[in-house]
Structure 1
Amino acid sequence: MEKKLSHIGSDNRPSMVDVSHKPQQKRTAVAEGFIALQPETLELISDNRMKKGNVLLTAELAGIHAAKKTGEMIPLCHTLLLSKVDIKATPEADGIRVTGTVVCTGQTGVEMEALSGVAQALLTIYDMCKAVDQAMEIGAIKLLNKTKE
């Protein structure tokens, strides 16, 4: 059985998927990503000594904002009314792990919103730390789970 891309129409052009026939359901998606940082950078962040301000809180806010704006950033995504966006930036021994959970009641999933929130939070950390850490590396952004009820 050949799989067909849902965002490509019969004319082989990009097409927004019609979800009007789908029922409203509670949908949840969880994504995560990681940014590797030097120990000195992690120390500056934990001591709240970065010149641009509180890195973790700023990253979490940026992630929430990005999740809410996903439909504006990705051309074929639906604009969704999100019920909850939770972005957590957690320091680890060699960097910061960002986890994003997004919930809505709608006709399509929220995995792109969760992934967008995580990616933007990681990019915000990068932006806030670039003056002190040129070895940063963002990676392993992935969807962990998605459900519908």
Structure 2
Amino acid sequence: MVNVSGKANTKRSATASGRIHIPKVAYNLIAFPGVPDDTSDVNFNKSATQIGTEKARSKGNVLTVAQLAAIMGCKRTSELIPLCHPLSLSHIAVSLRLEASRPTTQQQSPELVGSSEFGTVSRDLNLEDRSPYSIVCEATVSCEGKTGVEMEALTAVSVGLLTVWDMLKAVAGREMVIGDIFIQRKEGGKSGDFVRPRP
């Protein structure tokens, strides 16, 4: 661990965000709870979708459970990341929101490029290959301490998105993609404030 004993306590905060792309059937499950599913654009039979939807619904509210998991994960960052300092956090705020954008291209499966001892290898998904339906997770973490809270914010987002995956895997299967996890802004510390420019 880095020795921070000589540093003074200062107010620090960091905001991170990330996204999980989900298929339309999973988006509808969250956006329109209780409404029958439209499975006309899904490549598997309706009975499998209905079973998966029932399993996903039985786990509870996806966004609420993921928000709680993100907060819990944030508080345990130093146990998960080997060289992180344990911090006394003063505030954790996590939000998750649904987003739907217009698809830019026909959705396609990843192109297979070979195999290895670990199984089939596929080309990384391009942005155009991802579903236009997604959930964005944003976490802001604050403390008064000797080191920053960027790792705590990133951990919160990562755990929140992984929880969404777990909650939806029965209905969304292998179609989900987690990505775009980054620090949006930070305040405090020797390196000063930082705000990531908008694309």
TM-score (norm 1): 0.87
2:169 maps to 1:147: no
How many percent identity over aligned positions? 46
Partner of 2:171: 132
Q: Which amino acid aligns with 1:104?
A: C
2:44 maps to 1:37: no
Please tell me the root mean square deviation across aligned C-alpha atoms, in Å.
1.1
Aligned counterpart for 1:91 among listed residues 78, 98, 106: 98
Q: Which amino acid aligns with 1:141?
A: I
2:8 maps to 1:23: yes
- Kindly provide the CA deviation profile for residues 72-124 of structure 1, in whole angstroms up to 9, marking residues without a partner as x: 11110000000001111111011100000000000000000000000000000
Partner of 1:76: 83
Aligned counterpart for 1:105 among listed residues 121, 128, 144: 144
| Distance across 2 between alignment mates of 1:87 and 1:48 | 22
TM-score (norm 2): 0.66
Q: Which has the larger radius of gyration?
A: 2
Structure number with the bigger relative contact order (C-alpha 8 A, sep ≥ 6) is 2
Query: Please, which runs of 5 or more residues in structure 2 have no aligned partner?
Result: 35-56, 101-132, 190-199
Q: Which amino acid aligns with 2:87?
A: L
Query: Please, which runs of 5 or more residues in structure 1 have no aligned partner?
Result: 1-15
How many correspondences in the alignment? 134
Partner of 1:55: 62
The answer as to whether partners of 1:48 and 1:54 remain within 8 angstroms in 2 is: no
